[in-house]
């Protein structure tokens, strides 16, 4: 698994189907792909999730840059055919690790529908804790990032490849 960083131009190309020679997992893009990657227009960051077979299987990123308190909210999605095999957990862990290296990021939050058991369990495995509910049917999860970026020790080693992508050596 690796995360492929996107800018607005790369996002637009990906949504047109131009993936630089990568194939797609069945079901990608899914209904939430374009709205999720749309956060690049509001200061968020975006990544394509590339599975071990070198297929684009999903996307993840932040909705904006860090707010005044250092909080960013993440979002993520996978093609249905790519769920249930740990890919989402590895991708979100890599995103969290990347965010922990970014100056100004002190906390990461995610909003999850209470019925999306796989998603909230994924967050809890990574270390997120429930901090409340933004409204009926949803829970908010939070992970605090302690220390300055240069002092933070990653739980899971993150490897940056020469091509700018990120991979995780284990999960």
What proportion of the chain, given as a percentage, has pLDDT over 70?
85
Token code pair at residue 95: 């995103």
What average pLDDT does this structure show over 161-171?
45
pLDDT higher than threshold 90 for residue 156: no
Using an 8 Å Cβ cutoff, are 168 and 94 in contact? yes
Q: List Cα–Cα distances, 169 to 49, 88, 91, 156, 161, in angstroms.
A: 15, 15, 12, 8, 12
**To the nearest whole number, what is the mean pLDDT of the chain?**
88
Residue 101: Cβ-neighbour burial (10 angstroms; 0-12, 13-18, 19+): middle
pLDDT higher than threshold 50 for residue 150: yes
pLDDT higher than threshold 90 for residue 115: yes
Give the CATH number of domain 2-162; options: 3.90.400.10, 3.40.630.30, 3.40.50.1980, 3.90.45.10.
3.40.630.30
pLDDT tens digit string along 40-77? 999 999 999 999 999 999 999 999 999 999 999 999 99
Query: What's the pLDDT at 160?
Result: 47
Query: What's the pLDDT at 153?
Result: 45
Query: Who wins on pLDDT, 163 or 90?
Result: 90
Q: Where are the domains of the chain?
A: 2-162
Query: What's the pLDDT at 147?
Result: 65
pLDDT band at 134 (very low <50, low <70, confident <90, very high): confident
Query: What's the pLDDT at 169?
Result: 41
Query: What's the pLDDT at 157?
Result: 40
What average pLDDT does this structure show over 73-85?
95
pLDDT band at 109 (very low <50, low <70, confident <90, very high): very high
Report phi then psi at 170, rounded to 5: -160, 165
């Amino acid at each position: 698994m690796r995360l492929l960083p996107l800018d607005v131009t790369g996002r637009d190309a990906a949504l047109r189907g131009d993936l630089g020679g990568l194939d797609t997992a069945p079901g990608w893009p899914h209904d939430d792909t374009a709205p999720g990657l749309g956060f690049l227009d509001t200061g968020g960051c975006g990544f394509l999730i590339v599975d071990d077979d070198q297929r684009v299987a999903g996307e993840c990123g932040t909705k904006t840059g860090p707010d005044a308190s250092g909080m960013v909210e993440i979002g993520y999605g996978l093609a249905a055919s790519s769920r249930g095999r740990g890919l989402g957990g590895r991708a979100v862990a890599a995103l969290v690790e990347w965010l922990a290296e970014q100056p100004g990021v002190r906390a990461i939050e995610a909003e999850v529908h209470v019925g999306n058991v796989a998603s909230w369990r994924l967050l809890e495995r990574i270390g997120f804790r429930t901090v409340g509910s933004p409204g009926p049917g949803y829970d908010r999860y939070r992970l605090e990032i302690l220390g300055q970026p240069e002092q933070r020790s990653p739980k899971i080693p993150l490897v940056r490849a020469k091509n700018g992508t990120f991979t995780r050596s284990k999960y």
